[in-house]
Amino acid sequence: MIHKFKVGDLVEYYPLEEFPVGDGGYQAYPTSNPAQAIITGFYDNETGTKLSGDFTTMDKVIEVSVAGSAGIDRLFMTEIELVSSVEHDPLC
């Protein structure tokens, strides 16, 4: 079961680090050190539309926007782990 994440939850994830490859491009790999961040919003992966309400019932791939020590990132819900949940909705 996937946790019902909320805006304001503290989560942990492994940020990506880019390394140059021979053809002039870059290859991204997860770092070995996890980062902590606060969830700032939820988005539809396909359209980029910000989601609100009970998005867990939607048939969509959901991205989570987070801000923390590693910067601002957009991640899939499967890439984050809950550290601490907010007790109330911070937007109220």
Q: What is the pLDDT of residue 78?
A: 87
Which token pair is 11?
């989560």
Closest CA to 40 of 50, 32, 25, 26: 50
Distance (Å, rounded) from C-alpha 71 to C-alpha 58? Answer: 28
Cα–Cα distances in angstroms (integers) from residue 22 to residues 26, 29, 42, 55, 87, in the given order = 9, 16, 36, 41, 49
Distance (Å, rounded) from C-alpha 60 to C-alpha 72? Answer: 22
Q: What is the pLDDT of residue 69?
A: 85
Distance (Å, rounded) from C-alpha 3 to C-alpha 20? Answer: 36
Q: What is the pLDDT of residue 89?
A: 58
Closest CA to 72 of 45, 43, 40, 48: 40
Q: What is the pLDDT of residue 88?
A: 67
Q: What residue segments make up the domains of the chain, in order of their start?
A: 10-83
Tens digit of pLDDT per residue, the chain (92 long)? 456 888 999 999 998 888 888 888 888 888 889 999 999 999 988 888 888 766 666 677 888 999 998 889 999 888 999 999 987 655 55
